[in-house]
Amino acid sequence: MPNRGSTSEREAGGAGSRAREARAHAIEAEAIGSIDSLYRTALRLTRSPADAEDLVQETYLKAFRAAESFAPGTNLRAWLFTILHNTARNRARDKAREALTVDSDAVEQAAEGAAPYGAFGELSRGDTPESLLLRDALTPDVQAAIDALPDAFRQAVWLRDVEEFSYAEIGEMLGIPAGTVMSRISRGRRMLFERLQNLRPAHV
């Protein structure tokens, strides 16, 4: 005849299992709300609709399997984007394709060689890249200009100015220090601003 202690343990175990299951369902329901933004980012990482869809599906599969590791009260959306970027990097390595993350020093040197940003000067208070992005939203010109940025800059600018993640969250997603994130965003915004300015008709 089972004793009271073992019965209580079974009841507690059942309650714990139900609680974990309910938590997993809650995470899944909330996570689905981020599918559109995850797909937009995946599309800019892969440059292929089919690969982007596959990447998002794998991201959700990994997230649902690891639901118990998600810390309640933290940013679920940032957690999903971290999984997305990690999965994209792993795929790139596995397929021996060009890495999605670029060495910081190489990126800085490439940016310096691409345009004389030191001579670009400071942007006026009334016409910053941030206000330009907010004013134009995601028009075709803005989307094309973002897509034309080098990978490292494009990822950082997109995650900050479109998806609105913090520097710390972006650093965790991309596996780089927050200072590098800020540097890439600053340079990426200047490159983006310059591209958009070149597209605007001159005032007569």
**204 lies in a domain?**
no
**DSSP element (H, E) containing 110:** helix 104-114
For residue 82, being part of any structural domain is answered with yes
Task: Tell me the whole-structure pTM to 2 decimals.
Answer: 0.60
Residue % of the chain over a pLDDT of 90: 30
- Looking up tokens 């997305």, which residue turns up? 84
Per-residue pLDDT averaged across 187-198, rounded?
Answer: 86
Contacts of 50 (CB under 8 A, 6+ apart): none
Tell me what percent of the residues of the chain surpass a pLDDT of 70. Answer: 67
Whether 50 is covered by a domain: the verdict is yes
The answer as to whether 29 is a domain residue is: yes
Six-digit token pair at 17? 């299992």
User: Quick check: 173 and 78 in contact, CB under 8 A?
Assistant: yes
Q: Are residues 88 and 114 in the same domain?
A: no
Residue 118 CA to its chain's centroid (Å)? 28
Domain holding 43, by residue range, is: 4-94
Judged on CB neighbours under 10 Å (0-12, 13-18, 19+), 155 is buried
Tokens found for residue 72: 């309640």
Q: Are residues 127 and 186 in the same domain?
A: yes
Give domain status of residue 43, yes or no.
Answer: yes
- pLDDT tops 60 at residue 92: yes
Residue 176 forms part of a structural domain: yes
Task: Verify that 33 and 72 share a domain, yes or no.
Answer: yes
Q: Which residues contact 132 (CB under 8 A, 6 or more apart)?
A: 193, 196
Q: 130-165: per-residue pLDDT in tens?
A: 444 444 456 777 788 888 899 899 999 999 888 889
Is the model's pLDDT at 14 over the cut of 80?
Answer: no
How many domains are contained in the chain?
2
Of 36, 61, 94, the residue that ends a domain is 94
The CATH number linked to 187 is 1.10.10.10
Instruction: Supply φ then ψ for residue 199, to 5 degrees.
Output: -85, -15
Q: Residue 1: is its pLDDT beyond 60?
A: no
Query: Residue 173: pLDDT above 60?
Result: yes
Tell whether 72 and 147 lie within a shared domain: no
Question: Looking at residue 56, what is its pLDDT?
Answer: 94
pLDDT digit string, tens, across residues 96-111: 544 434 444 544 554 4
